[in-house]
Amino acid sequence: MPKVYIGAAFRRFSNRESPRTEKAYGVILDSEYVRRLERIEDMFLARGFHTCLPHRDEGRWGRVYYHPDAISALCLRHVATSDIVFGIAEEGRGIHIEIGYASGLGGKRILLLYHEECEPSTLIWGLPGTQSRWEPPHPLADVVIRSYTDEQDLLQKIGDTLGEWFPGAAGVAGQGFGRTRVGVIDLGSHTVKLKVLDFHPGAQPIPAHEEKRSLGIIDDVLQTGRFSDETIAAVVGLVSEWKSKCDGLGARAIRVTGTAALRKAENSSALTGALTAATDLSLEVLSPETELDLVYAGVQSTMTGDQRLAVLNLGGGSTQLGIGSRGEPPARFLFDFGTRALTEHWPWKDRFHQKDFDEMLSFASGRMEQSCRDGVPKVRTIVHTGGELDFLLKCRVPMSVCDLSPTHVSELSLSEFTAFAARFAAMQASEVADQFGLDPAWASGSVASNAILLAAARLVGAERIVPSNFNVADGLALTTG
């Protein structure tokens, strides 16, 4: 299945007040522009393409902000892993950089469209397949440059070109193609997460909206074995708020799940009863096996080959590791500890010395080895889920191109991540929050998360780490009609 990168103007449509503000770009609030880009995407989805619409997929239309060097490098990794680069080559400057990068890579098709009243960059006419007689060192598969009059004509030109390139791939008209919107609320041990996803048969879930709050609901359980009335009220209030948000966003179904904290609490039924009474939503308490299977299925659904890999699902109260290939159930390894076990022993009150971090890593490795006395299959790649890509982008960690998936296009070696984890632990928690814009409420567990990831990577003999924003919600979206 080919992949298309959809490029168009971003900053011109964002709400950044001034070029002198701290942020290089703002948030796209123009709903018609959003719908227009998604109607363009529909033309490719209808023909079975993987799509990358970076405005939405990487940063949620600007609501999640990344430093320019992080987001630009990520976008270029998506260009590198795409078969087609599509661009509205009018007044956006970034698309011309993406076109230039794609043309330098070679072997890609480029489709450029511009409004007949706008003048694109002069240099696009030097691309192969146009009037130019220049032959670059890396020829492209094909280049098509066309003007259009209005949106209907724009979509028609896209459809015509795709019909010429892929005559056997019939599509639809591109108006509201088969999308279903689902809301998933995941009650984690420390963090409660909301994901609203759009999906249709044969395509990956597309994030439409995301939020997270740190409630630390496992704190009550560890202290008393029960949820306090205050915690139950906080959870019910937040889920009620997010239910209204899901309804407003047009979600056809809302699923609420709970994991380690719900499994351990003596009075989980009190929370589920209060939640149902207030919202009419049922709460599904997931077993560790089910939790892992959902995350594993979500990640594996994005993979294009059959390489065996490990998928790490890491939480505050538990950790799961699934190992297998696309299309097969995982070999499951379940660990009864998460970041909380490490932060209790090694609270981030000051900079960690290397000795402290090594002790934390040794603790995590020991707990895992105790649970895997019969051994663990060895794999080259471990995928770390639960927002790890977002974390590394925020921390501006350099990454390489991953060729395993059209969705997961970033990776770094085990040695590179080890060096980053040591540098990160040597910082002050307040410094991390200020420098990288991380929420101190959940950034405090990042050192522990890094240590557990390193322990898991060494357990399976992984050489590279693929950071992923996938979590339980992505697996649930695949099973929700």
Answer yes or no: is 172 within a domain. Answer: no
Q: How far apart are CA 3 and CA 402, in angstroms?
A: 14
- Domain boundary residue, one of 246, 261, 286: 286
Rounded to the nearest integer, the mean pLDDT of the chain is 89
Tell me the pLDDT tens digit for each residue of 216-256: 898 899 899 999 999 999 999 999 999 999 999 999 999 99
Q: Which residue has the higher pLDDT, 366 or 479?
A: 366
Q: Are residues 297 and 356 in the same domain?
A: yes
Are 370 and 226 part of one and the same domain? no
For residues 281 and 296, state if they share a domain: no
- Asked whether residue 184 falls in the same domain as residue 244, the answer is yes
Beta strands 180-187 and 191-199: pairing type? antiparallel
- Nearest 10 degrees: Cα torsion 436, 439, 441, 442: -70
CATH at residue 370? 3.30.420.150
Structure tokens at 263: 């499994």
56-60 own/partner pairs: CB under 8 Å, 24+ apart: 56/206, 56/207, 56/208, 57/206, 57/207, 60/207, 60/209, 60/210
Residue 459 placed within a domain: yes
Opening angle at CA 344, ends 340 and 346, nearest 5? 110
Query: Looking at the structure, do residues 400 and 317 belong to the same domain, yes or no?
Result: yes
Same domain? 362 vs 390 = yes
In a domain, 450, yes or no: yes
**Alpha carbon 366 to chain centroid distance?**
30
Residue among 425, 461, 463 at smallest CA distance from 444:
425
Is residue 336 in a domain?
Answer: yes
How many angstroms separate the CA atoms of 455 and 341, rounded? 14
From 165, 198, 228, give the residue that closes a domain: 165
Domain shared by 340 and 404, yes or no: yes
Question: Mean pLDDT over residues 92-119, rounded?
Answer: 88
pLDDT digits (tens, 9 = 90+) for 137-192: 667 778 899 999 999 999 999 999 999 998 876 665 444 456 788 999 999 888 89
399 and 367, same structural domain?
A: yes
What range does the domain containing 361 cover? 292-478
Cα angle value 166/78/124 (rounded, 5°) = 70
Q: Is the pLDDT of residue 419 over 50?
A: yes
Q: Is position 303 within any domain?
A: yes
pLDDT tens string 323-367:
999 888 899 999 999 999 999 999 888 889 999 999 999 999 999
* Residue reference for tokens 């080919």: 2
Instruction: Give 3-state DSSP helix, strand, coil % of the chain, rounded to 5.
Output: 45, 20, 40
Number of compact structural domains in the chain: 3
Same domain, 280 and 314: no
Tell me: do 98 and 122 sit in the same domain.
yes
Angle at Cα 389 formed by Cα 388 and Cα 391, nearest 5°?
65
CATH number, domain of 104, equals 3.40.50.450
Question: What is the maximal distance between C-alpha atoms in the chain?
Answer: 76
Decide if 281 contacts 254 (C-beta within 8 A).
yes
> Cα separation of 141 and 80, whole Å?
14
Both 189 and 212 in one domain: the answer is: yes
Q: What is the pLDDT of residue 133?
A: 65
If asked whether residues 122 and 200 sit together in one domain, one would say: no
Q: Please list, in sequence order, all residues whose beta carbon lies within 8 angstroms of the beta carbon of residue 164, skipping any fewer than 6 positions away.
A: none
Section 21-27 average pLDDT: 84
Residue where a domain terminates, one of 286, 304, 324: 286
Name the pairing type of β-strands 283-285 and 180-187. Answer: unpaired
* Whole-number pLDDT of residue 284: 93
Report the CATH number that the domain containing residue 220 is assigned in CATH.
3.30.420.40
Classify residue 237: in a domain, yes or no. yes
Amino acid at 203: A
Q: Is residue 208 part of a domain?
A: yes
Answer yes or no: are the C-beta atoms of 432 and 444 closer than 8 Å. Answer: no
